[in-house]
Amino acid sequence: MKKAKLDIISILGENDAIKDGHFELPCGLHIQSYVNTSLIMQYPSLAAKVAAALADLFNKKVDVVFAATVENAIIAQEVARVKKARAVFAITENNIMKLKGGMVIRQRENVLVVDNVTMTGRKVREATALAALFGANIVGIAVIVDRSESGSIGNFPLRSLLSYPLDTYEPENCPMCKAKIKLTKI
């Protein structure tokens, strides 16, 4: 029996997780729409469905599911449950990513990096670099929503439940700024 494909657009829409407007990303760029996957992660049954769909994107054995940020710890935990793996997450201190507390990635462990929304890929690039420092084998990168224009990050397979590229703008070239649309910082 074939598995039904998860309708992530409907899940995001039903939970008011896609917003249109004028938003400033932490990196300073401006965007016209914002996807807030945290709104679906607050429901364990939805988090479990999303995690199962993410886990299905990679057939390889996974030892560790790695969330590059604390905010992605829920989805990492759920994907790890499906993959029968450990979940670890990183924190950033003084602009340096490191594993939280006593969490470890061992040499030759198969690591799947997870992210909620990837746009520039900075977080997952840092996570794959950190996992590589430990001597891990990076299986790939699984994201709920890929908003990047390239669809890939480094040499690792990037697979998503939704590809939703967007235009980003420097503040001085932002059409929403020029139209005086209220800016919301994310």
Please say whether the beta carbons of 160 and 140 come within 8 A.
no
* Predicted local distance difference test score (pLDDT) of residue 60: 95
Distance CA 22, CA 54 (A): 29
pLDDT in tens, the chain (186 residues): 345 478 999 999 999 999 999 999 888 999 999 999 999 999 999 999 999 999 999 999 999 999 999 999 999 999 999 999 999 999 999 989 999 989 999 999 999 999 999 887 889 999 999 999 999 999 999 999 998 866 667 789 999 999 988 888 999 999 999 999 999 998
The structure's pTM equals 0.89
Say if domain 8-185 classifies as CATH 3.40.50.2020: yes
For every residue of 69-116, DSSP letters joined together read SGGGHHHHHHHHHHHT-EEEEEEEETTEEEE-TT----TT-EEEEEEE
* Predicted local distance difference test score (pLDDT) of residue 150: 66
CB within 8 Å of 112: residues ≥ 6 apart: 58, 62, 64, 65, 66, 79, 83, 85, 138, 139, 140, 141, 142
